[in-house]
């Protein structure tokens, strides 16, 4: 996202962080759908949605997927690889959503608050970091949706 003089820096930053949040949520919606397909138990489905941590939900979905896909090794490998790559992006997502953002002075740009420790995953060029993150999350959402279709076609 290129900075323009006529764009409010807060609005532009809020849009970028919002894109990260929405892409992450969309991806987790697909992970939840996969969990439901992989699980036969209504109680397991209710427990999954009651879990507050998305990392714990990913772990549950991973375990259910590995079990459900045990007779479909190609799908299982795609699923495992994609889920591991998603796990690796959680730190970037957390950097976007859990950084204490503020307007810097005198340039009035948005950046991490100088008096609060930075998130360890936050890079200097966070605009590029988060733009790339949104792109990756969208690709993984599509990959998991395609896996969902392939699984549905085979079961």
What is the distance between the alpha carbons of residues 72 and 67, in angstroms, rounded to a whole number?
10
pLDDT value at residue 27: 98
What is the distance between the alpha carbons of residues 94 and 21, in angstroms, rounded to a whole number?
10
Q: For the chain (length 155 residues), average pLDDT per consecutive 10?
A: 67 96 98 95 95 97 97 97 98 97 85 93 97 98 97 86
By the 8 A CB rule, do 94 and 108 touch? no
pLDDT value at residue 5: 56
The token duo for 23 is: 């892409």
**How do the domains of the chain map onto residue ranges?**
9-154
What is each CA distance from 119 to 99, 101, 111, in whole angstroms? Answer: 6, 11, 12
Nearest CA-CA partner of 140 in 74, 88, 98: 88
> Is residue 93 exposed (0-12), middle (13-18) or buried (19+ Cβ within 10 Å)?
buried
pLDDT value at residue 3: 52
Strand intervals (E) in the chain:
101-103, 110-112
């Amino acid at each position: 996202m290129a900075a323009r003089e006529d764009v409010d820096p807060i609005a532009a930053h809020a849009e970028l962080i919002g894109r990260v949040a929405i892409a992450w949520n969309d991806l987790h919606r697909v992970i939840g759908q996969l969990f439901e397909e992989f699980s036969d138990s209504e109680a397991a489905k209710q427990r999954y949605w009651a879990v507050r941590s998305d990392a714990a939900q990913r772990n549950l979905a991973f375990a259910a997927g590995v079990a459900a896909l045990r007779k479909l090794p190609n799908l299982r490998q795609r699923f495992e690889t994609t889920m591991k790559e998603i796990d690796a992006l959680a730190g970037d997502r957390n950097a976007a959503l859990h950084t204490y953002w503020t307007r810097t002075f005198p340039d009035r740009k948005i950046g991490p608050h100088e008096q609060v420790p930075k998130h360890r995953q936050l890079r200097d060029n966070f605009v590029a970091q988060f733009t790339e993150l949104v792109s990756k999350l969208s690709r993984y959402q599509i990959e998991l949706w395609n896996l969902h279709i392939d699984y549905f076609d085979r079961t």
